[in-house]
Amino acid sequence: MIYDLIFSERIIYTIDISKYVEDIYSYEDFVSDIKKVLKKSKVGIVKSSVLVDSKTVIWELKLKK
């Protein structure tokens, strides 16, 4: 996923965070870590929103590469 975020030509992503973390309510740590990686890779975030429900967390992301 990180490789795609950095090197893919796509700029719009919908990421199901529940695939990557055990406790979906700790999604803020996951989002923060990914943002740090993107910043170091010089990939900007144009739009970011997180949708939380009882079973999953979806992160909608638009990037500037």
pLDDT tens digits for 10-30? 999 999 999 999 988 889 999
3-class state of residue 53 by DSSP: coil
- The Cα–Cα gap between 1 and 10 comes to 12
The H-assigned helical ranges of the chain are 2-7, 27-40
How many residues comprise the chain? 65
Share of the chain above pLDDT 90, in %: 88
Could you tell me the pTM of the whole model?
A: 0.87
Question: Per DSSP, what are the bridge partners of residue 12?
Answer: 62
pLDDT given for residue 25 in this prediction: 86
Strand partners, 48: 61
